[in-house]
Amino acid sequence: MKEYVEKRGSGLFVTGTRVAIEAIVCEYKKGASPESILLAYPGAGSLENVYGAIAWYLANQSEAESYLEATSKLWEKMRSQQRLPQALQERLERARAAFCDRVKRFRPGGAGCQPLLSKLAFSAMRRYCSQRT
């Protein structure tokens, strides 16, 4: 019987590809069809591989969920330890401050602000600016 998932290093991948099993499983759990998963991850190689990865997940759900949880924790740990270079942090802070100054000059939805950001991003940045002052 063909194996559809292989372990490489500390990761699980669709056999013979660089597509991580978490990509397939995440899409599947969101309700995506195998066909749409293949469209999103053509590197999976074939519809057979996508169905095989899903079958592996369903047959090994407790192992798969443990792996996904461990992977998620690892990514969160790595994100929390990542620091931007000081020069980049300073540049971003200057850009935020300049944007906040611009926002203060316009009403929400005003013609001057709208080209800068979508309504959602505009309100998120406005909340951020109000918390910073």
User: Torsion over CA of 21, 26, 31 and 36, rounded to 10 degrees?
Assistant: -60
**pLDDT tens-digit readout, 86-120:** 888 788 888 877 776 666 665 454 444 434 444 55
State how far the Cα of 77 lies from the Cα of 118, in Å rounded to an integer: 31
SS (H, E, C) 4-54: CEEEECCEEEECCCCCEHHHHHHHHHCCCCHHHHHHHCHHHCCHHHHHHHH
Token pair 């899409």: residue: 27
**Predicted TM-score of the model (pTM):** 0.61
| CATH code for the structural domain at 5-81 | 1.10.10
Reported as a single tens digit per residue, the pLDDT across 27-78 is 999 999 999 999 999 999 999 999 999 999 999 999 999 999 999 898 888 8
